[in-house]
Structures are given as structure tokens and as C-alpha cells.
Amino acid sequence: MSSGTAPRIATSPSPRPEPDEMRAMFSSMWLIRRFEERAAEEYMRGRIGGFLHLAIGEEAAVVGAISALRPTDPITSTYREHGHALARGSDPGRVMAELFGRSTGICGGRGGSMHLMDAERHFYGGYGIVGGSVPLGVGLAFASSYRGDGAVSLTMFGDGAANQGVLAESLNMAELWRLPVIFLLLNNQYGMGTSVERHSADEDLYKRAEGYGMPARKVDGMDVLAVRAAVAEAARMAREEGQPSMIELLAYRYRGHSMSDPDTVRAADEKERWQARDPIVMFERVLLGEGVMTGEEIAAERARIEAVVEDAAAFAEQSPEVPVQELARDVYANPWSDDPRGSAIMPPGPAAPAGGGA
């Protein structure tokens, strides 16, 4: 399909999660939307540096996928990963503080927007090299299978990343070794300024997994319930049968690639077509239509999240800078040098025991 049209994927109505879970999914999606919008404002104000990639428009993909997993299932992602941390329950204040580069940040200000991680919550990180995190996700699955702990690894990457050789290598080994991993390909139609039909010989990206004998499918990534159902089924296969799989989610990022992309390549009517199927608006319709939430409840929840985001920004702003003396902290588990700038030089110490031979 060409990049302009909205996805036409035959879907039977997705199974409905419990009402509590549906409400939690709504909160999560709205939190991501508002957090991202706030991050954009803070970037414009100069409080956030570096690259800032927003996931506005991709909330259904993130929340649908993560809500289908157990909290102990490991997740890996890209530089567009604020939502992953939030959907996993990371503290929005600490996530915002990381974007601000403060000491209270979720990675102590070392990582920034592109490199969030919350190991305690089994969110194994956002990575900046396109495709580079995919084998890590397979490795987390390898470890689960090795230990027999029943966890399923989910690794999320973009349509652009699908063209990295490392994906082919990862798919092959995952299938060859029957590893419990879900390859979640978020096809937002573009890798930076290049649309899928200009970067991929076959636009049905999920078919690449089929080449390795792996089950794969394409799903409407704007429909949070469809995403959740697909990922739940993939997780079941991985957990019960050791069967890896790939899901291609068709979605759209509303903003440019990053804050520094003026977004001139994509046509305005294309954006409008996709925004007409806004994942949050569509999900609200389901919630209202099926009586899961009333209009007042939705408004109240939005107001609550407004305060959460406000508090997160205030927390970040009031947090102290990272002490410069900590520049070389965490380069090694057991650093041998106390040089504040790091050093390869081993300080003098007791003579090492003589080796064998002479």
C-alpha cells in the first residue's frame, strides 16, 4: 500500500480487556500524548537539548503492545521511547528529569531523551543506532529461554530499521533457536524523510519474517485494541510454544522525525488523513460507546494527567544538575582509577604474583 492512504486491514472486532484495564490504557495513552507535547514545549524553551523524537500519533502502538505483556517481560526500543517508559509505569518526573539532563533523571542525566531505561521495570532501554537494539531484544529472549523463566521479550523498531542487516540476522537466529521474542515493527511510513515505498522493495515489511519461517502479520497500529490483541497472541505463542513472531503495526507520527526536522517532505493532506484516525479519539469513542467511561470521567482523567505532566516538568526543573565530579561514574563496575575524567591507567599497587613459565 502507498504511504498516503490510511490502513485497510480487515479486522474482526478485537476482544475487550477488562474495563479497569481499558481505563488504564486510556490514561497511559493520554499521558504519553501530553508528556510529549510538554517535552516539545520544554525543548523550544531550551530546557531539553540534543535530539528529541516524539511519539505523538503512536500511542496506540506503544500502549497496546505494552499492556498486553506481563510487567516482567523485557522491552527494548529506539530513541522514540518516552512512551515505553511511561507505559511501563516509570515515574513521569524522573523521565522528564532525564530529558532535562538532571541528576534525578531515570538514567542520572547520562542518557537523555534517546536513552531512557528502567531496568527495575524490565524496560531495557532506548537506543540511538537504527536497528542496533533488535538483537539485544533477541538476547533478552535467549536469556529467558536459558533460565526458563517464562518471560517474553518485545523489541520495537521502525520501518527504516527493517533495512538493517542485523534484523535479518536476528530473525534467523530467533526462529532457528525458537526464542520467545516479539519483533514489533512500527511502520510509521517514514524513516526520517524517506517513505516506505522509496526505501523498501516490498512494502509489506512483515513478510521479511516469513522468509525465515516465522509467523508474521500486519495490524492497524492506530487501533489500540487491535494492537493489544495481536501482541497478546504473539506473547502466548512465544510463552507457550517458544514461537517468535513479527507484527507490523501501521501507524503515523504526527510530528517531524525530531524537533529539528521541519517536516517538509510529507504532504499536508496525508497528515490530515492519518490524524482523522487519531488513536486516542478512536479509543475514546469505544470507551464511551461501550459505557466503559463517561464523558465526565474522561474529562476528569485528562485533568488529572494534566497535573501529572505539570508536576513532572516542575520536578525536572527543580532537580539539581548532575555533579561534574560524577563524569566518570559507571564507566566500569569496579573502576581502577579515581581520575575524575576517567583513565585507562592502573594506579600503582602491590606487585602482581609472577605468572607461570620463567
Ligand X SMILES: Cc1ncc(C[n+]2csc(CCOP(=O)(O)OP(=O)(O)O)c2C)c(N)n1
Nearest approach in angstroms of CB 191 to ligand X is: 3
List the one residue from 42, 59, 73, 159 that touches ligand X (CB under 6 A). 159
Comparison of 24 and 328: residue with beta carbon closer to another protein: 328
Q: Does 256 bind Mg ion (CB under 5 A)?
A: no
Q: Does 230 bind ligand X (CB under 6 A)?
A: no
What residues have CB less than 8 Å from 60, skipping those under 6 apart?
A: 29, 221, 222, 223, 224, 227, 251, 279, 280, 282, 283
Query: To the nearest whole angstrom, how small is the minimum distance from the Cβ of residue 193 to ligand X?
Result: 9
Stretch that binds another protein, among 12-20, 112-120, 227-235, 306-314 (CB under 8 A): 112-120
Per rule CB under 6 A, is residue 129 in the interface with ligand X? yes
- Asked if residue 97 lies in contact with residue 315, where contact means CB atoms within 8 angstroms, the answer is yes
Give DSSP secondary structure letters for 97-140.
Answer: HHHHTBTTSTTTTSS-TT---BGGGTEEEEESSTTTTHHHHHHH
Distance CA 152, CA 70 (A): 8
Residue 255 contact among Mg ion, another protein, ligand X, none, beta carbon within 5 to 8 Å by kind: none
Are 117 and 127 within 8 A, CB to CB?
Answer: no
Least distance to another protein, CB of residue 259, Å: 12
What whole-number distance in Å separates Cα of residue 90 and Cα of residue 88? 6
Which one-letter amino acid corresponds to residue 321?
A: E
The percent of the chain in helix, strand and coil, each rounded to the nearest 5, is 45, 10, 45
Binding status of residue 112 toward another protein by CB under 8 A: yes
**Range in contact with another protein (rule: CB under 8 A) among 23-31, 126-134, 142-150, 287-295:** 126-134
- 281 near ligand X, rule: CB under 6 A: no
Please identify which residue in 7, 137, 158, 256 interacts with Mg ion, judged by CB under 5 A. Answer: 158
Q: Is 128 in the site for ligand X (CB under 6 A)?
A: yes
What nine digits make up the cell of 316?
Answer: 525536572
Is 247 a binder of ligand X (CB under 6 A)? no
Q: Which residue is nearest to ligand X (CB)?
A: 158
# binding residues, another protein (CB under 8 A):
44
Phi, psi of 156 (to 5 degrees): -110, 135
Considering the rule CB under 6 A, would residue 161 count as an interface residue with ligand X?
yes
Nearest Cα neighbor of 145 from 123, 118, 178 is 178
The neighbour count for residue 178, using CB atoms within 10 Å, is 14
Tell me the closest approach of the beta carbon of residue 55 to ligand X, in angstroms: 8
- Binder of residue 80, out of Mg ion, another protein, ligand X, none (CB less than 5 to 8 A by kind): ligand X
Residue of 249, 204, 257, 189 lying closest to 4 (CA atoms): 189
Q: Which of residues 26-65 bind Mg ion (CB under 5 A)?
A: none
Min separation Cβ 172 and Mg ion, Å: 23
Site for ligand X, residues 180 to 199, rule: CB under 6 A: 188, 190-192
The interface region with ligand X, picked from 40-48, 156-164, 203-211, 297-305 by CB under 6 A, is 156-164
Contact between residue 48 and residue 99 where contact means Cβ atoms under 8 Å apart: yes
| Residue 326 in contact with another protein, rule: CB under 8 A | yes
Distance, in Å, from the CA atom of 122 to the CA atom of 140, rounded to the nearest integer, reads: 10
The single residue among 11, 27, 164, 172 that binds another protein, judged by CB under 8 A, is: 164
End-to-end CA distance of the chain: 71
Which residues are at the interface with ligand X (CB under 6 A)?
Answer: 78, 80, 128-130, 158-161, 188, 190-192, 257
Which residues are at the interface with Mg ion (CB under 5 A)?
Answer: 158-160, 188, 191
